[in-house]
Amino acid sequence: MSSIDVVIPCRDEAGSLPGVLAALPTGYRAVVVDNGSGDDTAGVATAGGARVVHEPVAGYGSAVHAGVLASDAEVVCVLDGDGSMDPAELPRLVARLDAGADLVVGRRRAVRGSGWPWHARLGNALVAARLRQRHGLAVHDIGPVRAVRRGDLLQLGVRDRRSGYPLELLVRAARAGWSVAEVDVTYSPRTAGRSKVSGSVRGTVHAVRDFGAVLR
C-alpha cells in the first residue's frame, strides 16, 4: 500500500474529532489542520494521535492546502472533521486510484436526517450539472471527500483558498485530462456543532459565489 495521509480541515470540531480519528482505517495517518478554532480542536487532535498543522488564514482551501503541504505521503485523502462521513469508506476511493484514476471524489448519499438542507443540495446539483456540461466530468457532487496523489495535486496548482477549492480542483483536473472517478459515500448528520457552509442560507450563498468565480 502507498503511504496515505488524511487531511482533515477543521474549525471548532473538538466535539466530532475523536470519533473521526478513531474510525480511520489502519495505516491512514491523520493530518488535522486547525483553521482558527476557538475550541480545543488542536488538543483533541493531538490526543487522538493526529499530526496538527495550524493555518491562520481562514478558508477551506487554505486549510486543505496547508495540510497537503505538511504531508509527506504519496497519497492524500481529504475528509471533513464533522463526523458526517465514514473514514472507513476511504479505502474504496484509494482503490480507484490504484486502478488508474487520477482523482477520486465522493458522491454524498444522504441518510435520513442527514441535515443536508435543500438550498445546499440545490446549489451543489446546479454546479455539478455545469461541470458535466462544460467540462465533460461525470460527477454529481462537489463533495468534501476525495483521494489523489499528493505530487499530482501540487503540480495541478489549485489557487482558490476559500470554498471554491474543490470546484477549482475538478475544473483543473478536467483541463489537464485527468481521469476522474466518483464513488458513493455515506453522508450522515454531523456528530457535533453546526456546518459553516450548508448550515445556513448565507453560508451556501457565499459558497455558490466562490463557485461562480471559479466557473467564469
**Whether the Cβ atoms of residue 179 and residue 77 lie closer than 8 Å to each other:** no
CB-CB neighbours of 110 under 10 Å: 14
Helix (H, G, I), strand (E, B) or coil at 89: helix
pLDDT at 90: 98
pLDDT digits (tens, 9 = 90+) for 35-78: 999 999 999 999 999 999 999 999 999 999 999 999 999 999 99
- According to the 3-state scheme, what is the secondary structure of the chain? CCCEEEEEEECCCCCCHHHHHHCCCCCEEEEEEECCCCCCHHHHHHHCCCEEEECCCCCHHHHHHHHHHHCCCCEEEECCCCCCCCHHHHHHHHHHHHCCCCEEEEEEEECCCCCCCHHHHHHHHHHHHHHHHHHCCCCCCCCCCEEEEHHHHHHHCCCCCCCCHHHHHHHHHHHCCCCEEEEEEEECCCCCCCCCCCCCHHHHHHHHHHHHHHHC
User: Is the per-residue pLDDT at 209 higher than 60?
Assistant: yes
Model's pTM, two decimal places? Answer: 0.89
Give dist(CA 182, CA 175) in Å, integer: 17
pLDDT at 144: 86
User: Cα–chain-centroid distance for residue 64?
Assistant: 8
pLDDT > 70 fraction of the chain, expressed in percent and rounded: 86
pLDDT digits (tens, 9 = 90+) for 110-148: 887 656 777 778 878 888 888 999 999 999 998 889 999
Residues 16, 84, 96: CA angle, nearest 5 degrees: 120
CB-CB neighbours of 3 under 10 Å: 14
Alpha-carbon distance values, 91 to 74, 104, 137, 182 (Å): 14, 11, 22, 13
pLDDT at 2: 76
pLDDT at 126: 85
130 vs 159, residue with greater confidence: 159
Q: What is the residue extent of each domain of the chain?
A: 4-215
Give dist(CA 187, CA 189) in Å, integer: 7
pLDDT at 176: 97
Which band of pLDDT confidence, cut at 50, 70 and 90, is reported for residue 191?
A: confident
Q: Which of 79, 71, 68, 65 is nearest to 160 (CA)?
A: 65
> For the structural domain made of 4-215, what CATH number should be given?
3.90.550.10
